[in-house]
Structures are given as C-alpha cells and as structure tokens.
C-alpha cells in the first residue's frame, strides 16, 4: 500500500513535511484498506481538501482548491473519491437544490447542526438549536416514533444579500407566510 505514496524513500522526510495532511486522512486510509480499495495519492489529496475545511464544498470547489495546491485532478476522480468518502461515513452529502451536491466532513466543530441557505449567493450558515432538538424529541415521543436522524434546511436571503437589495423570488410558489402579512 505504501508504494503508492508519492514520496520516494530518499526524500521521504522532505516530502512528508511538504505534504502535511490532516490526521483524519488516516481514517480514510483505514477504510480504503478495509474495503480492499487502492490508497492513491489522488484520493488522499481530495480527502485532504475536504477534511481541511469546515465548509460545504461542491466538486468545483474541491477541484479549485486542488488546483491552488498545484494538483490537477479530474472531476471524475473527485466524484468517485467523494462517493467513497460518503460511503465511509466520514463525509456527509447535501443537496441544497442547486443542481449539484455539497460535501462536508463530520469532524467539524458542530456535530449536529442545521443549515440556513442563501438562495442568492449560496452562503450556508450553520446553526445549532437545543430548542429545536428538544421539540423534535418531544414530537417523536408523542407519536411513538423512534427518530434516527433529521434534516432542517431554511432557504432565503443572507444578511448581506438583503443589504445589497436582493429580494426573494418565488418561482411560481407563493409563500404562505407572505400571504399573512
Ligand atoms: Zn446571500
Ligand atoms: Zn453543515
């Protein structure tokens, strides 16, 4: 497995210094090994970008970050690596209705969080609410329901888009809240 590593043994020390990867990469390596999948330097580079940020990355974002590090890795390889990362449970996949997926790793500062998504600039704001969690548990209990996971996404406009004068567009739909005002 080691022979796929880019660093030659003669320059091993220099190479590891230059390639300081996040410690989470070891979990990904272990998963690949367990699954009998090759540990390639390309897969490692993709995973390193994802683990190195707490944002919600698209494949384009990942490709751009890799390019910034001087790595040219094709979209197909990035997609395949992301599939494996999602399957491994180390990375979560989001569909914010933009026509493409976004990814975030699960070692961020906020273990269980929900999202506010700006439909104008695509900013994603994370929030945690103990009240919402409590309400969910209560609701589930009242229905004799055993909850496994939940998802809450609030779509709208972020503060800076509102400041810039952007207004909400309803594509054929009228917001019921708006009707009440
Ligand atoms: Zn915005
Ligand atoms: Zn998130």
Please tell me whether residue 101 adopts helix, strand or coil conformation.
strand
CA–CA separation, 17 vs 169, rounded Å? 50
Please tell me whether residue 92 adopts helix, strand or coil conformation.
strand
Global pTM reads: 0.66
Distance from the CA of 109 to the center of ligand 2, in angstroms?
10
- The third-level CATH classification (topology) of the domain covering 110-181 is Dna Ligase; domain 1 (3.30.1490)
Distance from the CA of 6 to the center of ligand 2, in angstroms?
32
pLDDT band at 171 (very low <50, low <70, confident <90, very high): low
Distance from the CA of 134 to the center of ligand 1, in angstroms?
29
Average pLDDT for residues 155-169, to the nearest whole number?
A: 91
Q: pLDDT digit string (tens) for 78-134?
A: 999 999 999 998 999 999 988 999 999 987 656 678 889 998 998 889 888 888 888
Average pLDDT for residues 5-21, to the nearest whole number?
A: 45
Domain range annotation of the chain: 1-109, 110-181
pLDDT at 10: 38
Ligand 2 (ion): residues with CB under 5 Å are 104, 126
| The CATH number fitting domain 1-109, selected from 2.40.30.10, 3.90.1150.10, 1.20.1050.10, 1.10.10.10 | 1.10.10.10
DSSP 115: E
Mean pLDDT of the chain: 82
Average pLDDT for residues 161-178, to the nearest whole number?
A: 73
Q: Is 122 left (phi over 0), alpha (psi -120 to 50) or beta?
A: left
């Amino acid at each position: 497995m080691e022979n796929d590593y880019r660093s030659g043994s003669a320059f091993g020390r220099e190479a590891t210094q230059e390639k300081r990867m996040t410690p989470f990469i070891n979990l990904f390596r272990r998963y690949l090994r367990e699954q009998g999948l090759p540990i390639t330097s390309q897969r490692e580079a993709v995973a390193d970008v994802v683990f190195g940020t707490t944002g919600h990355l698209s494949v384009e974002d990942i490709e751009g970050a890799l390019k910034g590090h001087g790595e040219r890795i094709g979209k197909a390889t990035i997609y395949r690596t992301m599939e494996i990362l999602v399957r491994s449970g180390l990375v979560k996949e989001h569909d914010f209705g933009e026509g493409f997926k976004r990814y975030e790793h699960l070692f961020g500062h906020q273990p269980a969080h929900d999202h506010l998504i700006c439909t104008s600039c695509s900013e994603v704001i994370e929030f945690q609410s103990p009240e919402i969690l409590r309400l969910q548990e209560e609701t589930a209990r009242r229905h004799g329901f055993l909850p496994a996971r939940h998802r809450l996404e609030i779509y709208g406009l972020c503060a800076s888009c509102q400041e810039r004068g952007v207004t909400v567009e309803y594509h054929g739909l009228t917001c019921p809240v708006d009707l009440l005002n």
